[in-house]
Amino acid sequence: MDHLERFLQILNALPGWVAYLLLGLSAFVENIFPPIPGDTITAFGAFMVGTKKLSFIGVYVSTTVGSLAGFMALFGVGRVLGRKFFMEKDLKFFKREEIMRAEQWFKKYGYLLVLLNRFLPGVRSVISISGGISHLNTAGVAALALISCAAWNLIWIAVGYSIGANWDTVRETMSRLLVRYNTAAFLVMGLVVGYFVVKKLFSRKKKGTGRDKLI
């Protein structure tokens, strides 16, 4: 039995209010430390709604508040520690190159990046850190992050609940859905990055050709 399965069994045996607390905590930690499978645990929360152990509103609110708190916690860390700290430390989960890339995205897309952060797998933690480093408006970031978390969790919980009360089916189906979604999202992100790289190369080439003509 893996750690996730053991945790889920414990969660299922707990009183409702404790389960809500742990669901919110898992959503919080998953934003702080991405390898934690918070979305899988959220899907299990949806399964518990299907078995009438927990309420839809309770699971939805607890996971959304946890996700928002995690995002804003990292935003605060980025704001307090500043760019120099992360550039010098080059931390394992907040690498220098990733933060610099996120800064470039902020220059191009601004607050839209915060609005879409939950739908960008593998980079949302870096987005929150970079948003803090960039000293974005805290109230604006919180509002957009809330919309992003609320939309993502509503979709995730609704899909998990609609699958039915069979946890094995929920877990296997959710895993496949998440893998497919992540693959598609990374592909789209790769195409967008590739577009801007090619555009920049052509722009440089065009400028170089213009200078040659002047000579």
User: pLDDT tens-digit profile of 89-130?
Assistant: 777 667 778 788 888 888 888 888 889 888 876 677 888 888
Residue 69 pLDDT: 94
CA distance 192 to 197: 9
Residue 123 pLDDT: 76
Please, are residues 119 and 153 in contact by the beta-carbon 8 Å criterion?
Answer: no
The dihedral of CA 23, 11, 159, 181: what is its sign? positive
181 pLDDT more than 50: no
| Residue of higher predicted confidence among 168 and 29 | 29
Residue 76 pLDDT: 92
| Residue of higher predicted confidence among 175 and 66 | 66
Band (pLDDT 50/70/90 cuts) for residue 180 is low
Residue 175 pLDDT: 55
Phi, psi for 181 (deg, rounded to 5): -65, -45
Q: Where are the domains of the chain?
A: 3-214
Please, are residues 174 and 118 in contact by the beta-carbon 8 Å criterion?
Answer: no
| Residue of higher predicted confidence among 193 and 110 | 110
Residue 75 pLDDT: 92
Distance of CA 144 to CAs 17, 78, 136, Å? 28, 17, 12
Residue 131 pLDDT: 87
What percentage of the chain has pLDDT greater than the value 70?
65
The mean of the pLDDT values for the chain is 76
| Residue of higher predicted confidence among 10 and 208 | 10
| Residue of higher predicted confidence among 214 and 108 | 108
Residue 191 pLDDT: 66
Residue 148 pLDDT: 93
Q: Which of 29, 21, 26 is nearest to 43 (CA)?
A: 26
User: pLDDT tens-digit profile of 15-44?
Assistant: 778 888 888 888 888 877 765 556 666 777
User: pLDDT tens-digit profile of 46-93?
Assistant: 777 776 778 889 999 999 999 999 999 999 988 888 888 888 777 766
The whole-model pTM stands at 0.68
Please, are residues 47 and 167 in contact by the beta-carbon 8 Å criterion?
Answer: yes
